[in-house]
Structures are given as structure tokens and as C-alpha cells.
Amino acid sequence: MNRLNVTKEEIPFSRPASPGRNLTLGWVGLGNMGYLMARNLAKGKGTGPPLLVWNRTTSKAEGLQKEVGSAVSVAKDLTDIVEKCDVIFTSLNEDSIVKSIYEQFAETLKSKPASSMKIFVETSTIFPSLAIQLDDLITVLPHCHFVTSPVFGAPAAADKAQLLIVMSGDYKAKKEAAHLLVPSVGRKVLDLGGNIAKAPTFKLIGNSMILGTVEILAEGFTFADKSGIDPSIMINYANRMAHDNFDGSTGFSIEGGIKDASHIRHLSTKNDVPLPAIDVAYQHLLTARALHRTAQQAGTTNLDVLDWSGMVAGARVAAGLDAFDSTKHKYPVQESND
């Protein structure tokens, strides 16, 4: 990809001054999104050292190296990433994991301080207060900067480098990160200013709208199903619900949905904003997870990861229907004599 061919609409920052050498980039976390983003960054970064990657499960890092070849190198450990890389991107599933990883970064940098600029770019969906904690942890260290950079888009969008990237934090660090990520990883950067908490807050607000929409779809499909109307008549996202396509290994997991819903509810409570649709969605997510775990224990499901669209199971069970098998729902609806 030609990184010179971007517009002001795609990146709201001018191109950073050349550092006089090729930057070494690092990537931590190769989940459903992280793998695709790291792959595209490695392919699109042009000349320079290979992208240094680390993942808790080493086989994922080795698989990425096998896919893109010399554009990727596998790090020995997190210390290897911190010591060798100028810009480090993280893409992780849980706030507790994010915090643990950044604490390890900080410990390494305390024992061996950076001698030149080092930028940390957090792309996960995290709670805003954690972003503030991470910023405090990293920016007190010499030459270190922190940027929050959550993304909007499913794995299919990540695969095609069509993510919307939201950023907040240090201006120079955002500028550097933005020109590394667009167009290699995303199609556009939205800058929310210097307050480090703004990007994760924006992300949770956006996800609340998505989650509310999914909940309404779940209710609508269940309503149609119980009324004797074939759900496949009703459309799209819905394809997962209508056809019981709840495999989350290539989509967005139920765990991720519960985590995001928890963050959204926490944020709305702090701001005294009632979100009843999100409260119901959260309950249905928990119900679906419990049902899936029970099915796993009973050996009646082959799904290792449940997609968050599986939240429809909560609505189905409440309506007296089977949670995950809609073929059991086909029965005639009694006609009213009215």
C-alpha cells in the first residue's frame, strides 16, 4: 500500500518528520482482530525492520510469520518487544490483561529506560479509567508516550483494512501512529483530542448503539419465530440468528460482548444515563453464556466460542423456545377465532 497517498479526511494530522531511521514496530496480541491488524501493518509498512510480534499463545505468532514471511519476526518475550521497538501496538481481550501487560512494559522500562521516543498504542476496547491509569503508568517514564486507539469494525473490516480508528492522547504520538495505521490497517482516523479517556469513551458509546441494535434484532427475530414467521425472511445481521450461526471464532465472542456491555453500563451509571436496552442486552448475553457453558458440559455443542449474536438465546428461552436450535421452533400458530 502506498502510505503517501492519504488525504486530510483520512488522517487529520500532517506527516511526521522523518526520524532519520526506520522505526521498529511491535505488536502484542493476536486475537481475531489483532492478528488481521498486525498482518496488514506488516504488509503495508514498507521498508525497514520486520514487525516484531508477541502473543501469549506462541503458535499464533508463528502462524502470522508463516503467512507474511520476512515482514514479521516473533519476539522472545515482552521484554524483547519493549527493548527493541519504537512504536508498540497492543490488541488484547480483557482490561485485566491489558493492565498486566502494561505493568510488565513499565517494569522493563524502569530497569532499562528508553533513550529515544517510544510510543504505546492501545487498540483494545477498555474502560476509560483504565486508559488514565495506563497513561499515568507509561508517561512518567523517560521518552515514553501513550495513545488510546480503539477501532470500529468487525474482523471482515479488519481483514480489508477498512477499520475506523479513534485516537486520543499526545499529539505527536497520535500523528506518528496515525500515519503507520492508515491505510495499512484502517481507512480513517478520528481525532478526539488530548484527553486520553475520550477515545475509549467514544468507543463504548458507539458499541452501546451497536449492542442496542443487536438486542432489538434478537427480540424481533424471536417475536417473528414465536409468531410462526420464518426468521430468515427478516434480514441480514440476523443471518447469524436466523440460521443459528453462532460460531464466535471468526466473529465477536460472547465474552467480548459481556465485557463491553459491562463497561457501557458502568459508564452510563457514572454519567446518570439510563440505557434500558443495554440492561436487557446484558441479561441476555449472560443467559446465552450460561446456556452455552451448560451445553459444553453436556457435550451437546461443538462451538468452542459463542458469537455475541448468540444473545438471541436469552430472548428465545424467555419465550419458551430452544436456545440454539431454531429447527425445533417450527410449529403451527393457532388462529384466533376473533
Closest CA to 219 of 315, 289, 322, 317: 315
Does domain 201-327 correspond to CATH entry 1.10.1060.10? Answer: no
Question: Is 201-327 in the same CATH topology as 25-194?
Answer: no
Q: Is the dihedral of CA 308, 291, 286, 303 positive or negative?
A: negative
What is residue 230's predicted lDDT score, i.e. its pLDDT?
78
Q: What is the pLDDT of residues 243-295, one digit of tens each?
A: 888 898 888 899 999 999 999 999 999 999 898 999 999 999 999 999 999 99
Q: What is the pLDDT of residues 191-235, one digit of tens each?
A: 999 999 999 999 999 999 999 988 888 888 887 888 887 777 666
The fourth-level CATH superfamily of domain 25-194 is: NAD(P)-binding Rossmann-like Domain (3.40.50.720)
Listed in sequence order, the residues at least 6 apart from 108 whose beta carbon sits closer than 8 Å to its beta carbon are 78, 79, 82, 83
What is residue 336's predicted lDDT score, i.e. its pLDDT?
45
What is residue 62's predicted lDDT score, i.e. its pLDDT?
97
Give the C-alpha separation, 92 to 83, whole Å: 20
What residue type is 55 in one-letter code? N
Q: What is the pLDDT of residues 46-60, one digit of tens each?
A: 788 999 999 999 999
Give the C-alpha separation, 323 to 305, whole Å: 16
Confidence of residue 8 (pLDDT cuts 50, 70, 90): low
Give the C-alpha separation, 204 to 269, whole Å: 13
Question: Can you list the alpha helix ranges (DSSP code H) found in the chain?
Answer: 32-44, 58-68, 78-84, 95-111, 128-139, 155-159, 171-181, 198-226, 239-242, 254-270, 276-298, 312-318
Q: Cα–Cα distances in Å, from 310 out to 46, 249, 315, 319? A: 40, 13, 10, 15
Q: Parse the chain into domains and list their residue ranges.
A: 25-194, 201-327
Q: Grid coordinates representing 80?
A: 524483547
pTM, to two decimals: 0.82
What residue type is 219 in one-letter code? E
CA atoms within 13 A on the CB side of 264: 26
